[in-house]
Amino acid sequence: MTKKKGKPINFDLLVKFFIRHYDIPTKSDIEKLVARMDRLENLIISTAEGGLGKKASGKNTGKGKATRGKSAMTAADTVLEIIRSFSEGVGFVDIQARTGFEEKKLRNIIFRLNKTGKIERKERGIYIAV
């Protein structure tokens, strides 16, 4: 029997090659995107609050933040409040019915809330607040 010449094939290198060649996102790529989305959300919130504060300060400075409605809540805050209102956990379909969000948007929100540790998955499709 003849011996093989050359270096043995490393499975990890083979996987890395396919990931790079076919532009498959890795876990770290997704974490970077989530971090960027969080920064953008915070920037939008701070910009919106700054705009509301200027308008309210011109009319009545005592009621600036107290009179602010639910429009300042983010979509993630809305979903988190709904999950908190159910002590035994709430299903995906119920959350979707109460928020009216599309499936993709709601799945992304739930993923981010789970990733940040604000909710936990009790069962498949059932979530509870932490």
Give the model confidence (pLDDT) of 74-109 as tens digits.
Answer: 899 999 999 999 888 999 999 999 989 999 999 999
- Using 50, 70 and 90 to split pLDDT, how confident is the model at 3? low
Helix axes of 103-115 and 75-84: crossing angle, nearest 10 degrees: 70
| CATH 1.10.10.10 is held by the domain 74-130 | yes
What is the distance between the alpha carbons of residues 10 and 90, in angstroms, rounded to a whole number?
45
What is the distance between the alpha carbons of residues 83 and 31, in angstroms, rounded to a whole number?
24
Give the model confidence (pLDDT) of 11-44 as tens digits.
Answer: 888 888 898 899 899 888 999 999 999 999 988 8
What is the distance between the alpha carbons of residues 74 and 37, in angstroms, rounded to a whole number?
12
DSSP state of 129: E
